[in-house]
Amino acid sequence: MKYLDRKIVIIGAGPAGMSLASSLQLAGLDYVILEKKDEVGGQLPLIHNDLDDFVVGVYKDGLDFAQKVIDFNNKYRLNVEFGCTIESIDSTKKKIHCLQEGVEKVYVYDILVIATGSRHRLAEKSLINGYEKDVYYRISHKLNEFVDKKILVVGGGDNATIAALKLSEIGRKVILVNKNDEMISRPDLVSDVYDDPKIVVYNNSELVHLSGEELLKKVEIIINVTAVKQLIDIDKIVFKIGYLPNSGFVDKMIDLDDKAYIVTVGKYQTNIEGVFAIGDIVSGAYKRIAIAMGHGTELGNYFLKEYLVK
């Protein structure tokens, strides 16, 4: 048996794409990773909290973990093209057009794997205009700024409840505003939130207005069930309102779900033959580094054991 002679292009050098590439390189297959940034690791450097969900070790933050990925790449020298911004993809001619250091380049592929991940969903600019310095999306690297403060957390998922519990340890009071009828977080986290005397929860509610002079002083929320508006004294706001997939460059090409994540079937296959997606960009994927790495490893195993074997 031999491997089929196929050119594989991976878009994204985060944990998913790197895991796949390492499998392909060990087998001597023809591949390249196209990465927008100038280093591997994807969104890892933006994670400022402890990464302790790996049984092989604890990392102080995403930058620490990213350095391990960089060290791996320095040792094994995976085939990565840095500074490559995807402009368009022609799935008929199987060509990728990208801008690299101001020069347009074209990459031809037989197999395409999209591993571009997701990013934090930001609050509407019109809502937070003028109060940006009191608005946060990540908290772990700035915990000292929340000491003895009244804090509003917007969201109802795992990240929101985890943030609320962390902030209750150092803040004076935490208000959690959730737009849904009930929180969609893990049951254990929801229970901990309701049991915490320093946390007040407003379900089925939305943040509608911020006020203050130079500093944020109050917020107005609307409780949707009764349409009652309520003013709340507050010092800081933390938004944990989900993620947005980095799928804009394929939205006319590949089937996406209603949140613009890529729909896959079977072994991470999209609706287009020879085009796959792995990691956080996959519809329904739980956003954990270990899961993204597992996607890459599993797809690599599928390529080496089945898909590329003749």
Fold of 125-239: FAD/NAD(P)-binding domain (3.50.50)
Whether residue 161 is predicted with pLDDT greater than 80 in this model: the reply is yes
| CATH 3.50.50.60-classified regions of the chain | 8-120+243-307, 125-239
Rounded CA separation 199/201 (Å): 7
pLDDT band at 94 (very low <50, low <70, confident <90, very high): very high
- State the pLDDT at residue 227: 86
> In sequence order, what are the residues at sequence separation of 6 or more whose Cβ sits closer than 8 angstroms to the Cβ of residue 228?
222
Ranking 92-96, 150-154, 223-227 by mean pLDDT, the lowest is 223-227
Angle in degrees, CA 144, 147, 148, rounded to 5: 165
Question: How far apart are the C-alpha atoms of 74 and 68, rounded to whole Å?
Answer: 10
As beta bridge partners, residue 201 has 176
Q: Which residue has the tokens 């009191």?
A: 134
C-alpha to C-alpha distances, 189 to 45, 82, 170, nearest whole angstrom: 26, 40, 18
Tell me the one-letter amino acid at 64.
D
CB atoms within 10 A of CB 36: 18
Write the pLDDT tens digit of every residue in 182-235: 999 999 999 999 999 999 999 999 999 999 988 899 999 999 878 889 999 999
Residue 72: the pLDDT is 93
With a pLDDT cut of 70, the percent of the chain lying above it is 100
Comparing CA positions, the residue from 137, 113, 119 lying closest to residue 250 is 113
The predicted-structure confidence for 240-296, as pLDDT tens digits, reads as follows 999 999 999 997 899 999 999 999 999 999 999 999 999 999 999 998 999 999 999
Mean pLDDT value of segment 59-63: 86
List strand residue ranges (DSSP E) for 234-288, in order: 236-239, 243-245, 275-277
Position 248 scores a pLDDT of: 93
Per-residue pLDDT at 58: 87
pLDDT bucket at 310, cuts 50 / 70 / 90: confident
Mean pLDDT of 126-142: 91
Annotation: CATH topology of 8-120+243-307? FAD/NAD(P)-binding domain (3.50.50)
**C-alpha dihedral sign at 177, 178, 182, 187:** negative
Q: What's the rounded mean pLDDT across residues 151-167?
A: 96
Residue 27, pLDDT score: 95
Strand (E) or helix (H) holding 89: strand 84-90
pLDDT of residue 56: 79
Do 24 and 302 form a contact (C-beta atoms < 8 A)?
no
- Provide mean pLDDT across the span 94-104: 94
What pLDDT does residue 295 have? 98
CA nearest to 138, candidates 110, 112, 166: 166
* Residue 21 pLDDT level (bands cut at 50, 70, 90): very high
- Residue 281: predicted pLDDT: 97
Cα distances from 279 to residues 10, 158, 271, in angstroms, run 12, 18, 17
